[in-house]
Structure 1
Amino acid sequence: MKLSLHALSGRHPAASPGACPALKRLSLEVEAGEQLAVIGPSGAGKTTLLQLLACALKPDAGTLLLDGQNPWQLPTRRLQQLRGTLFLAPQVPPLPPRQRVVTSVLAGRLPQQGLWSSLRSLVYPTGIAQADAALARFDLSDKLFARVDRLSGGERQRVGLARALLSRSRLLLVDEPLSALDPARAAQAVATLTAAGRESGATVVATLHDVPMAVQHFPRIVGLREGQLVFDLPAWRITPDLLQDLYAQEAQPGPAPALPLDEPQPRAVPMNCR
């Protein structure tokens, strides 16, 4: 799915009507099948961006086009159909605590199913083999029939990502998927997610606080600060100086996040501010 953002502005989902926009006049072009990571300090507007791309929030200003269509100019039925081709994985997956993992994973297919098939799947899950295969990619096959409330926080996050693999969506939007994962699990999760995106041809946009992980796994990096675009660069052009500028206003200042040690050191470039 191709994304076109022109001077897009929007408020955080929890903001009051009179609050300042969390995202301010952002312009981006993302080609179909492209993968990019969005980084920046807390409050930079990353979650608001994903909510706008998911058509969960209506922009305050500017234009959003998904494959050339303005979703907010579509009839209600067509907007619902468009939303069925998008998948938003929040930082805390909305998994019913008493539900079995298999049912939670198969819920990723609900937008493509009819009402009767959806209701039947809640009682007699169909597609168990597909759910098991998706969980296996995150080393969770042994949790197939476990209850969600018996999972750790990291396991729940991985179940949420496994659900994304079954969604058949053309746009995968992932918000901070690594917050409850140890480094090894985090690397596995991001590698699996990006590989699945390449296999299906889906566009992938992920927000990450782990900058080395973003640079290692995503070819394009977008930096946001205070709702505005700071840079939009290939991963190999991200330098410590750029990161120092991006995170300079964090509440607890410190050294810029280190780049992966096994990556060649990129040459310094001027910051592309817009």
Structure 2
Amino acid sequence: MKLQLEAVSAAHPAARPGAAPALRAIDLTVQAGEAVAVIGPSGAGKTSLLQVMACALPPREGRLRLDGQDPWALPRAALQRLRGRLFLAPQVPPLPPRQRVVTAVLAGRLPAMGLWASLRSLVHPDDLPGAQAALESFGLADKLFDRVDRLSGGERQRVGLARTLVAPASLWLIDEPLSALDPTRAEQAIAALIDRARERGATLVASLHQVDVALSRFPRVVGLRDGVLAFDLPATQVSPEHLAQLYARHEHELLPGRPAAADVPPPRSPAPVGMLCR
């Protein structure tokens, strides 16, 4: 799917009146099948950019085009069909805690399914091999029938990413996919996303805090700061000077990704202690 943003400005729905827009006059074109990393300091507007691309946040000014169509000019039914061709993976995936992993993964197909098929899939998962193959790509094949609340933070994030591989989407929008992963798992996850997107001809746009990963794994890197496009370059042409300007006053965010405490299992409630009173 081809993406075009023409002078797009956007504001978060919860922003206070008079607050600066999250995005300002963004001009950006991503060709079908491209893999693009979006980097920038915290608060740069990376998540808002992905939400605009996913038709979740309408532009305040300018125009978004997906395969030449303005989604916000389409009738509601046509807009819903278009959204079925997109997949937005948030940084914190919305996984019901008591749900089985297999059901959580196959939920990636729900946007393109009808109501009754969606309800049936939630009760009786209909593609165990597909779910297991997606989990295998992220090192989680043995978690197929585990409950989500038994997973660590990093495992939950990888389950959210596995949803991408089962979604019938031609545009993958991935927000901070490595934030809860240690370096080994991060390398496995980003390789799975890039390789599977290439195999399917899907367009991949991922926001990343890990600048080293963006430069080493993505052919094209977009720099965003204060809602403005700072640069749009082949990764090989992104210089230390570009990064220094992009992360000015945020230099600590240029450090390579550190192991995340979120990959440790969440603390459980202490077991009750029996007491004998005399």
User: Fold-level match, TM-score > 0.5?
Assistant: yes
1:24-75 per-position Cα deviation (integer Å, ceiling 9, x unaligned): 0000111001110000001111000000000001111011000000000000
Aligned to 2:228: 228
Partner AA of 1:60 in structure 2:
R
Contact 1:93 1:156 in 2 (8 A): yes
Contact 2:86 2:170 in 1 (8 A): yes
Aligned to 2:33: 33
Aligned to 2:175: 175
Partner AA of 1:187 in structure 2:
E
In the alignment, is residue 65 of structure 1 matched against residue 33 of structure 2? no
Provide the rounded CA distance (Å) in 1 between the counterparts of 2:252 and 2:17: 34
Aligned to 1:262: none
Provide the rounded CA distance (Å) in 2 between the counterparts of 1:94 and 1:49: 20
Provide the rounded CA distance (Å) in 2 between the counterparts of 1:75 and 1:134: 33
Provide the rounded CA distance (Å) in 2 between the counterparts of 1:11 and 1:130: 38
**How many residues get paired?**
257
Matches within 5 A, 1:172-211: 172-211=172-211
Aligned to 1:155: 155
1:19 Cα deviation after fit = 2.2
Partner AA of 2:118 in structure 1:
S
Gaps of 5+ in 1: 259-274
Q: Percent identity?
A: 64
RMSD: 1.5
Q: Which moved more, 1:96-105 or 1:233-242?
A: 233-242
In the alignment, is residue 143 of structure 1 matched against residue 143 of structure 2? yes
1:17 Cα deviation after fit = 4.6
The SS at the match of 1:230 is: strand
TM-score normalized by structure 1? Answer: 0.91
Contact 1:12 1:47 in 2 (8 A): no
Aligned to 2:9: 9
Q: Which moved more, 1:162-171 or 1:116-125?
A: 116-125
The SS at the match of 2:236 is: helix
Provide the rounded CA distance (Å) in 2 between the counterparts of 1:61 and 1:257: 35
Contact 1:240 1:257 in 2 (8 A): no
Gaps of 5+ in 2: 257-278
1:113 Cα deviation after fit = 2.2
1:216 Cα deviation after fit = 1.1
The SS at the match of 1:191 is: helix
Provide the rounded CA distance (Å) in 1 between the counterparts of 2:197 and 2:13: 27
Contact 2:105 2:131 in 1 (8 A): yes
Provide the rounded CA distance (Å) in 2 between the counterparts of 1:89 and 1:48: 13
Contact 1:243 1:257 in 2 (8 A): no
Provide the rounded CA distance (Å) in 2 between the counterparts of 1:30 and 1:255: 26
1:257 Cα deviation after fit = 4.5
1:111 Cα deviation after fit = 2.2
Contact 2:209 2:253 in 1 (8 A): no
Matches within 5 A, 1:232-243: 232-243=232-243
1:12 Cα deviation after fit = 2.8
Aligned to 1:83: 83
1:255 Cα deviation after fit = 8.8
Provide the rounded CA distance (Å) in 2 between the counterparts of 1:176 and 1:88: 11
1:198 Cα deviation after fit = 0.5
1:125-159 per-position Cα deviation (integer Å, ceiling 9, x unaligned): 10011000100111101110000111111001100
Contact 1:222 1:233 in 2 (8 A): yes
The SS at the match of 1:65 is: strand
Matches within 5 A, 1:124-139: 124-139=124-139
For the pair shown, which has the larger CA radius of gyration, 1 or 2?
2
TM-score normalized by structure 2? Answer: 0.89
The SS at the match of 1:16 is: coil
Provide the rounded CA distance (Å) in 1 between the counterparts of 2:123 and 2:41: 43
Contact 1:90 1:175 in 2 (8 A): yes
Aligned to 2:120: 120
- Evaluate the alpha carbon distance shift between residue 63 and residue 117 of structure 1 in structure 2; reply closer, same or farther with a 3 A threshold: same
The SS at the match of 1:6 is: strand
Provide the rounded CA distance (Å) in 2 between the counterparts of 1:40 and 1:191: 21
Aligned to 1:108: 108
Partner AA of 1:107 in structure 2:
A
1:114 Cα deviation after fit = 2.3
